[in-house]
């Protein structure tokens, strides 16, 4: 998330009531998670295991729970509760705005776009030309749709990210201030759910077609011309490259990459990154040729046992 107006390191520390390390006039221009940070962004870290990753990332300000050596050209915000303070900053610069009408503020709609009755649209939404949004759809804040996009009935675009911090008092949600971007010629089936990015974007690439009852988690990037059959479930922070096919009920864990032109057969469970251009099936999903050999070997086991 980029700030509408940059602030200084000193000002951020003042807002949080915490100590800072670095130049008081060090500039902050955004807030992001570790996997999408850019120069000018604040990232938070609250576990020693991830200190080096955060300090060496593209982020130029690190919200951290311990004072450490500050890399040259960066700034530190030293906080006892980095998660809480990061949440405070995201709420400060992207506050929740309730919906009081069926259509929010600052809606932009292109030519020849049809929005059916009973569609609910949030704030700051942009919809391109020749789109079709069917009855019962909900389009969340900041969503961007290209041209020729179809959204079928009762689908939710831009729901809050499923991202929680475990605490003694329970689980606290990370404030969602990202968005969903649907590029040109995307089709989304009925009763699908696509989560907004936590602080960045969830992307659906040009020409991708998605069947009914598919879920796509926060900050996932789907490439061009992909095809997802019904009941596919994709976790957050997944990268799916161009021309990938996922057949019915495929499940994909977070943080993996599925390569260009990979095909994953129905009911498979993707628990690790998959190379492109191959067919996969099974739980966990493995390349089909390897899996068939394993199955053939298993079928021989009864005879082998009889002959022992």
User: What is residue 222's predicted lDDT score, i.e. its pLDDT?
Assistant: 98
CA dist list (Å): 32 to 130, 133, 177: 33, 30, 10
In the CATH hierarchy, which fold is given to the domain comprising 108-289? UDP N-Acetylglucosamine Acyltransferase; domain 1 (2.160.10)
Does the structure show a pLDDT above 80 at 87? yes
Phi, psi (deg, nearest 5) at residue 296: -65, -40
User: What is residue 35's predicted lDDT score, i.e. its pLDDT?
Assistant: 86
CA 253 to chain CA centroid, Å, is 12
In the CATH hierarchy, which fold is given to the domain comprising 2-93? 3.40.1390
User: What is residue 281's predicted lDDT score, i.e. its pLDDT?
Assistant: 95
- Best CA proximity match to 140, nearest among 112, 170, 117, 119: 119
User: What is residue 88's predicted lDDT score, i.e. its pLDDT?
Assistant: 96
In the block, tokens 């949004």 appear at: 133
> Hey, is 146 helix, strand or coil?
coil
> Hey, is 77 helix, strand or coil?
strand
Per-residue burial over 35-63, b if 16 or more Cβ lie within 10 Å, else e, is ebbeebbbbbbbeeeebeebbebebbbbb
Does the structure show a pLDDT above 90 at 301? no
User: What is residue 256's predicted lDDT score, i.e. its pLDDT?
Assistant: 98
> Hey, is 302 helix, strand or coil?
helix
CB distance 110 to 55 below 8 Å: no
Which whole number is the average pLDDT over 255-260?
98
Active-site positions read: 218
Q: How far apart are CA 242 and CA 258, in angstroms?
A: 9
Domain boundaries, the chain: 2-93, 108-289
CB distance 134 to 151 below 8 Å: yes
């Amino acid at each position: 998330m980029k700030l509408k107006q940059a602030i200084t390191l000193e000002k951020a520390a003042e807002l949080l009531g915490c100590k800072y390390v670095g130049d008081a006039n060090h500039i902050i221009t955004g807030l992001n998670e570790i996997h999408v940070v850019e120069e000018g962004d604040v990232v938070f870290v609250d576990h020693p295991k991830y200190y080096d990753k955060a300090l060496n990332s593209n982020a130029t300000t690190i919200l951290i729970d311990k004072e450490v050596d500050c890399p040259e050209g960066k700034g530190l915000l030293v906080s006892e509760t980095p998660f809480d303070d990061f949440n405070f900053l995201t709420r400060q610069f992207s506050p929740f705005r309730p919906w009081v009408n069926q259509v929010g503020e600052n809606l932009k709609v292109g030519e020849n776009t049809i929005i059916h009755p009973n569609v609910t649209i949030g704030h700051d939404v942009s919809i391109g030309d020749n789109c079709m949004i069917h009855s019962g759809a909900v389009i969340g804040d900041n969503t961007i749709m290209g041209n020729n996009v179809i959204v079928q009935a009762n689908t939710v675009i831009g729901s809050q990210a499923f991202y929680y911090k475990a605490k003694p008092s329970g689980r606290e949600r990370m404030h969602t201030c990202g968005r969903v971007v649907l590029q040109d010629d995307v089709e989304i089936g009925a009763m699908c759910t696509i989560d907004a990015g936590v602080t960045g974007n969830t992307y659906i690439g040009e020409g991708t077609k998605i069947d009914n009852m598919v879920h796509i988690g926060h900050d996932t990037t789907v490439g061009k011309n992909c095809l997802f059959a019904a009941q596919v479930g994709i976790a957050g922070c997944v990268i799916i490259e161009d021309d990938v096919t996922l057949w019915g009920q495929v499940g994909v864990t977070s943080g993996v990459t599925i390569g260009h032109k990979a095909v994953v057969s129905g009911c498979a469970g993707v628990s690790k990154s998959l190379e492109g251009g191959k067919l996969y099936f099974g739980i966990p999903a493995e390349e089909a040729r390897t899996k068939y050999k394993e199955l053939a070997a298993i079928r021989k086991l009864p005879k082998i046992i009889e002959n022992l």
